[in-house]
Structure 1
Amino acid sequence: MTGTDYYIPSLVLGVALLVKLPTLWRGRRDPMLRSVLVLLCMAPTSFALAAPPSIQAINRTTGVPNAAAPLVYSTLCALSCASLILILHWRGGPPEKLRRQTRRWLFFYVCLTVSIFVLFALGNAPVERLQDLDTYYANTPFIREMIVAYLIGLTTASAAITVTCWIWAREVTLPWLRRALRTLVVGVVLSLGFCAAKLLAISARWAGGDLDFLSTSIAPPLASVGAVVTTAGFLIPLLAPRLAPRWTAHRAFHRLGPLAKALSETLTGSSVPMTPPRWRDIELRATLRESQITDHLLQLAPYFDIAQRQAVYEDARSHGHIDDDAAVIAAAEMVRSAIVAHAAGHTPADPADTPTLPMALGSAAQRLADVSRHFASLRGPAVPHPAATAHPLESTLR
């Protein structure tokens, strides 16, 4: 891999850090957010340091061949430790138990990091290796142990996170949390693939063979993709609570479009429903569009035929639709028939006989987006007064 192959994922991860940095910095007293901050700092740093040009620059600056190796390995250990601690606090539990487990992992990875630097100092690695240090020095005393030590740290974290997230994903009910955990599983499995490729290549050297391509060509891409996917998995819980309502509002706004357009065209003569500017908040736009539809439905209420709605509802139920869906289908057909009746100039009902909107729409009154979606799918001529005419809606319901 070239330097670009390392710097691109580093840039992607760095952007994620910049996006969340203000929030994370404000909440740095929270152990979980502090772990996220460390993770988002270590992830791009580890890739930036592991790039061959960066390794060469560190070696030249320090004047020590391969001085970048313990620095990169310790950064990867810090990333592993932050990931484990974040999972602990994310899942939660008794505070004392969390503190005890956090201290254990911190102690383990601090000792591992210190041993990496000590082993490097005790070893002898005079030939600079920018990409294949792990296999080149696989049989060198102390350097060999240093390499194994950092791989143990990465493998331990990846295996623990994989097992925890896999079990947890089967227990949770929140969709976004389940997606986050499954994303994490994918990311850490790729990281396990990185460790496996490195260990196989090193083991081949111990056995007198040569599988260096696993370490130099297979492992780095697995690490790059794995780090990006894992970081995305950790960010989902931070972003989902804020983005989920916006996504819901965005979907509702567009699903309300067909009904809003039809009502505007019928009652105001405009084929374009009045909506706030695009730069306004999507939740506000969705709320105003729903209010506009409600106002127009109130104007159209004298043309509603509840007998028709009931007939369509029963017909939908006979075709296997559940209560709520049948109510939506019936409301959509009733609104369409009312639009046709209004456009045809039929005499509206007496104000005293006009049903209220909740009475007219029934349970569908709370599901205008679904009514709009079904309204857009209706085909064939509408029947304004089905009380006097059979109206099986075969083409609509099939």
Structure 2
Amino acid sequence: MSLVVYLAAIGLATASVLLFRRPRTALRDPLTASTCVAIALGALVFVCSAPLTLGAVNRLTGIPNFGAPLTYGTMSAYSCSLLILLVHWRGGSRHQRRKMVRRCVAAYSLLIIAIVVLFAKSDAPTERLSDLDTYYANTAYMRETILLYLIGHGAAILTMCSVCVKWGREVGGLLRTGLRLILIGALVDFVGFLLTKYTAVMARWTDHDLDFLSTTVAPPMASLAALICSVGFVLPRLVPATAAQWHSMGALRELRPLWRKVQFASTAPKPSPSWWHLPQQRLHWLEVSIHDALLDLAHHFDETVRQTAFEAALNAGRTPHQARVVSEAVMLADAACRAAAHEEPLEAPSTYRLNAAEVSGTSGLLELSHALTCSPATDAFREGTVKTSLG
């Protein structure tokens, strides 16, 4: 069983690290911070509940079953964090969210204190690493301790189900998908973990033995439920970010021809090794560097070259916008060649403003790079065959 719960803990910890990759930004965002805390606490619950961990904790403290209140308290904190996460995810005024968070923290703090006090008053001398809930189901104070953590966790799960059902009717897209996954995970937790625990404990009350439900069925079901819920919480936040990084990788590839043409003219400071940065960061640096190079090459822009290429493109059937981009690519290629050959700038340099400088974002640079790659005019112009190649 230790292997199952440790694997679940690793999965949850990985999800938390992915969201918390930028600590300063994450801590300023209550939603990101609460998501990371909830997932990290979920991972901690599984680590604490593993028999290997329980045995180690009991040996270190010298108290038989000390791992029980540790696990129950951690699970109660995890339940509280789920409710706080839902509060931030649902939104609303800052005052209202803080009020709800304080209520959750107060309620579950009292619950944790009660668990610790009841355990201290109980008599549980025999160490039980996997079946403590059922072994001490009829023991005074331990019985109440077990019920308290199950009730606290059940309240959080039922609240999650209610919020997911109501909110799921109001939203769509990835957020609705995430809510459905959370709902599925909560139902798996309720049926596979809580109901099996309750059944096994109550069976003990009536002198029946259904311990396998608590020791064999509940742990893997709890692991599965926590992983599904974590995917539901993380999915709406990671998928758009991942898609943006993927788009940036494509843009980086498409800008390479333009960068190869103008990089010698760029004076932008070099970044640290590219592997250290995400694609979006590398793309931002590349855009800045290209614009810096274009600004330097503007002293070599020849308006006659651009106008000739523009008219040739129009005659070849291009739209005015396509003709503009192609003519700018031809003018840029001409300017880059002369600048690379250390020719003197034009006595009356062009004041023409490139389309890439007027368009916000990366689209203008991508069009210019594509024209440099795909338009035969950029190579043919130097040979005086622009009209022929465009036709």
Offset at residue 361 of structure 1 (A): 7.1
Offset at residue 55 of structure 1 (A): 1.1
Offset at residue 74 of structure 1 (A): 2.0
The corresponding residue for 1:307 is: 311
8 A Cα contact 2:174 2:236, kept in partner = no
The corresponding residue for 2:69 is: 70
The corresponding residue for 2:290 is: 289
Question: Kindly tell me: are residues 35 and 122 of structure 1, through their superposed partners in 2, closer, same or farther at Cα, counting changes over 3 Å?
Answer: same
Partner amino acid for 2:193?
Answer: K
The corresponding residue for 1:258 is: 257
Is the counterpart of residue 333 in structure 1 residue 326 in structure 2?
A: yes
Is the counterpart of residue 2 in structure 1 residue 5 in structure 2?
A: no
Equivalents in 1 of 2:17, 2:357: separation in Å? Answer: 48
Partner amino acid for 1:219?
Answer: A
Offset at residue 155 of structure 1 (A): 1.0
Question: Kindly tell me: are residues 343 and 251 of structure 1, through their superposed partners in 2, closer, same or farther at Cα, counting changes over 3 Å?
Answer: closer
8 A Cα contact 1:258 1:372, kept in partner = no
Equivalents in 2 of 1:24, 1:364: separation in Å? Answer: 31
The corresponding residue for 1:175 is: none
Offset at residue 292 of structure 1 (A): 0.9
The corresponding residue for 1:145 is: 147
Question: Kindly tell me: are residues 43 and 222 of structure 1, through their superposed partners in 2, closer, same or farther at Cα, counting changes over 3 Å?
Answer: closer
Offset at residue 258 of structure 1 (A): 1.1
Is the counterpart of residue 215 in structure 1 residue 218 in structure 2?
A: yes
Offset at residue 164 of structure 1 (A): 7.2
What is the 5 A alignment of 1:1-398? Answer: 1-2=1-2, 4-5=6-7, 8-9=10-11, 12=14, 39=38, 42-89=41-88, 91-117=90-116, 120=119, 128-134=127-133, 141-142=143-144, 145-146=147-148, 148-156=150-158, 158-159=160-161, 162-163=164-165, 166=168, 170=172, 186=181, 189-190=184-185, 192-202=187-197, 205=200, 211=213, 213-223=216-226, 225-226=227-228, 229=231, 232=234, 254-263=253-262, 276-279=269-272, 282=282, 283-296=284-297, 299-302=300-303, 303-304=305-306, 305-310=309-314, 315=318, 327=321, 329-338=322-331, 356-358=352-354, 367-375=363-371, 378=374, 384=381
TM-score by length of 2: 0.63
Structure 2: unaligned runs, 5 residues or longer: 274-280, 339-345
8 A Cα contact 1:158 1:192, kept in partner = no
Question: Kindly tell me: are residues 286 and 41 of structure 1, through their superposed partners in 2, closer, same or farther at Cα, counting changes over 3 Å?
Answer: same
Equivalents in 2 of 1:41, 1:388: separation in Å? Answer: 64
CA deviations 1:287-333 (Å, max 9, x no partner) are: 12222134436634432133345557x745xxxxxxxxx83x44443
Give the count of matched residue pairs.
356
CA deviations 1:128-148 (Å, max 9, x no partner) are: 442344566678754662453
8 A Cα contact 1:2 1:51, kept in partner = yes
Offset at residue 182 of structure 1 (A): 5.8
8 A Cα contact 1:180 1:234, kept in partner = yes
Percent identical pairs in the alignment equals 23
Question: Kindly tell me: are residues 249 and 214 of structure 1, through their superposed partners in 2, closer, same or farther at Cα, counting changes over 3 Å?
Answer: same
CA deviations 1:324-370 (Å, max 9, x no partner) are: xx83x44443345557878999xxxx988967134x77966974322
Offset at residue 259 of structure 1 (A): 1.5
Question: Kindly tell me: are residues 247 and 49 of structure 1, through their superposed partners in 2, closer, same or farther at Cα, counting changes over 3 Å?
Answer: same
8 A Cα contact 1:13 1:231, kept in partner = no
8 A Cα contact 1:9 1:228, kept in partner = no
Equivalents in 2 of 1:111, 1:234: separation in Å? Answer: 33
The corresponding residue for 1:173 is: none
Offset at residue 152 of structure 1 (A): 0.7
Equivalents in 1 of 2:389, 2:247: separation in Å? Answer: 38
Partner amino acid for 2:326?
Answer: E
